[in-house]
Amino acid sequence: MAKKMAKVVVPVTDIWSRPQFESSRLSQALFGEKVRVLRRKPRHLYVRCEDGYEGWLNESHVTELQKDSRLYAESVVKVPVAEIYHTPKAKTPSGRLSFGSLIEYDQKLSGMLRLIDSGGWIKEHDLRLKKPPRVSARAIITTLKTFLGIPYLWGGKSGFGLDCSGLIQLVYGFYGYELPRDSKDQRKKGRKVARRNLKPGDLIFSPGHVAVYLGKSVIIHSSLRAGGVKVESINESSKFYREDINKKIIEMRRII
């Protein structure tokens, strides 16, 4: 499979720094995501993800793509976690897929779509069927808030767990703003803005961290200290004040 394209066929697969489970999680790849296989070892593949990130993943979590395979699915999961069912009429879900998972389907029945890869069924209203144009900050913020309470996970970029830059890359990418995986690289995108000129949707960077400005000194981010995705404040008079972020802001960037 070396130097070929492959597609993730599990809900989420970890991208590791070394070809062993005990190594550090660098990032994740979602169901339907395409990766380029650069080299392999027993049971592991070294891949380059669509965002340029490289690392090792479990070989059983992907399937090789044929030359005539479509490289991109039109449909994308638009809720933090979507449930999958064995049949269109099943009441109990048999699995789950994350926001941002790429879906290819071949049947539609009673508001349900049949996944080509697994044969399972997903609710049509959990998907974005066509790629929208870039949208307003309000739409992005509304989507960010659907992730409130999702737990923090180092290297996570799915509806099952997120780190700070994973949340930003996942949600902004959904709306066509393709950003790098790490906050240090996200900081190179867009244009610099002064604090007095901050607008909702702007990104606020502190060392090793990124948050989204919501207006009135309020931010949303995925934070280890907060336990996950949470709305907090950079206003000293707020009971939700995050001094560690406010006192260490190094830059603010406008992406939208």
In tens, the pLDDT along 121-145 reads: 999 999 998 777 668 899 999 999 9
Domain-ending residue, one of 111, 128, 145? 128
157 within 8 A of 166, measured Cβ to Cβ: yes
Residue 129: predicted pLDDT: 84
Please report, rounded to a whole number, the percentage of residues in the chain having pLDDT higher than 70: 95
| Tens digits of residue pLDDT in 232-253 | 999 999 999 999 999 999 999 9
221 and 146 within one domain: yes
Pair 242, 164 in one domain: yes
d(CA 100, CA 86): 21
Residues 171 and 196 in one domain: yes
Most confident of 112-121, 123-132, 209-218: 209-218
pLDDT for position 175: 93
| pLDDT category of residue 71 using cuts at 50, 70 and 90 | very low
Tokens 């995501």 — which residue?
A: 33
Q: Are residues 235 and 163 located together in one domain of the fold?
A: yes
Give residue 21's pLDDT.
Answer: 77
Domain that holds residue 33: 5-64
Question: Are 102 and 156 in the same domain?
Answer: no
Confidence check: pLDDT of 164 > 90: yes
- Of the chain, the percentage scoring pLDDT greater than 90 comes to 87
pLDDT of residue 67: 62
Structurally, the chain folds into a number of domains equal to: 3
pLDDT at residue 8, as a whole number: 96
pLDDT at 72: 46
| pLDDT over 80 at 216, yes or no | yes
Write down the pTM of the prediction: 0.93
Q: What is the CATH number of the domain that holds 79?
A: 2.30.30.40
Q: What is the CATH number of the domain that holds 218?
A: 3.90.1720.10
Residues 79 and 28 in one domain: no
| 226, 157: one domain | yes
> Within the chain, where are the H helices?
137-145, 164-174, 183-186, 243-246
Q: What is the pLDDT of residue 77?
A: 97
How distant, in Å, are the alpha carbons of 8, 24, 154, 221 from that of 13? 7, 13, 14, 23
User: Is residue 70 in some structural domain?
Assistant: no
Q: What is the mean pLDDT of residues 16-30?
A: 92
Q: Taking residues 188-203, report their average pLDDT.
A: 97
Looking at the structure, tell me whether residues 92 and 115 fall in a common domain. yes
Residue 115 resides in a domain: yes
For residues 169 and 174, what is the distance between their CA atoms, to the nearest angstrom? 8
Residues carrying an active site annotation: 164, 209, 221
Burial of 241 (0-12, 13-18, 19+ CB in 10 A): middle
Does one domain contain both 157 and 229?
yes
pLDDT tens readout for residues 80-111:
999 999 999 999 999 999 999 999 998 999 99
